[in-house]
Amino acid sequence: MENMSKLHISTDREALDVPLIHTFLSERSTWAIGIPRATVERAITNSLCFGAYLNGRQVGFARVTTDRATFAYLADVFVVEEERGKGIGKALLETVLAHPDLQGLRRFMLATSDGHELYARYGFSAPSRPATLMERYFPNIYAN
């Protein structure tokens, strides 16, 4: 990545640009259109969050819901459009997967509509036993 030395990834929740995260998720994501800010704030409070910062400005985000022992779910991963293609997403994902609280987990899951190739590079695959997985899914829960 060009200017990699200016990229900083942190789990400091206080450094997160919550307005940026909310705007991206609620207006520009494909999975959380219309999500209320209070819901984003509650999700951040109850998750292990990673902010990616380029020259001090937040340009990426990832959130992990986990018990820090057996299970983790990766969600809300994004890099702002103008900074894509520079390796920030890969660096963010590598930092998430290297976090000490996310080692030795029995299951690490995520859902993606278009990132299969990227996530496969890091060991993610379709469920090996899909018949054992169930879900309650409400795709339009934030619709007005």
Residues 6+ apart with CB under 8 A from 29: 76, 78
What is the per-residue pLDDT for 2? 52
Q: What is the mean pLDDT of residues 124-130?
A: 94
- Does the pLDDT at position 17 exceed 90? yes
Please check whether residue 89 is in contact with residue 118, taking contact to mean a CB–CB distance below 8 angstroms.
Answer: yes
What is the per-residue pLDDT for 1? 46
Report the distance separating Cα 133 and Cα 56, nearest Å: 40
Predicted TM-score (pTM) of the model is 0.93
Report the distance separating Cα 126 and Cα 114, nearest Å: 13
In CATH, the number for domain 4-132 is 3.40.630.30
The domain spans of the chain are 4-132
Tell me the pLDDT of the chain averaged across its residues: 95
Confidence of residue 143 (pLDDT cuts 50, 70, 90): confident
What is the per-residue pLDDT for 144? 64
Residues 6+ apart with CB under 8 A from 64: 47, 48, 49, 50, 72, 73, 74, 75, 96, 99, 102
Q: Which two tokens stand for residue 98?
A: 């290297």
